[in-house]
Amino acid sequence: MGEKQLNQSMNKYSVVEEGVRVGKDVLIGANAVVLASKDDTLATTLEDSCEVGANSTIYPGVNIGTKALVKPGAVVTTSVPPLAIVEGNPARISG
């Protein structure tokens, strides 16, 4: 799992690759996959209090903003701003 902070919740069969930055109070649903970049200049980051739904995929180098919600099954290929809700493949802001 990536760099660990306080109060994280990661469900069964989820994968968070080494090198992913994970903030406080982050929830990661079952079967979610968060990929790390092989390039040190492109960090994958899950900011504080964000939620990643079950069966979601977060691509390398993507930033999920504070209190953002990635709905189940979303494939996130670009960064998500704080407080946004994203869904779909590829993920798009829906709220």
Q: Are 52 and 27 in contact (CB under 8 A)?
A: yes
Token couple for 39: 């390039």
DSSP one-letter string for 61-75: T-EEPTT-EE-TT-E
What tens digit of pLDDT does each residue of 17-30 get?
999 999 999 999 99
Cα separation, 81 vs 14, in Å, equals 23
Side chain identity at residue 31, one-letter code = N
Share of the chain above pLDDT 70, in %: 92
First to last CA, the chain: 29
The residues facing 69 across adjacent strands are 51, 85
pTM listed for this prediction: 0.88
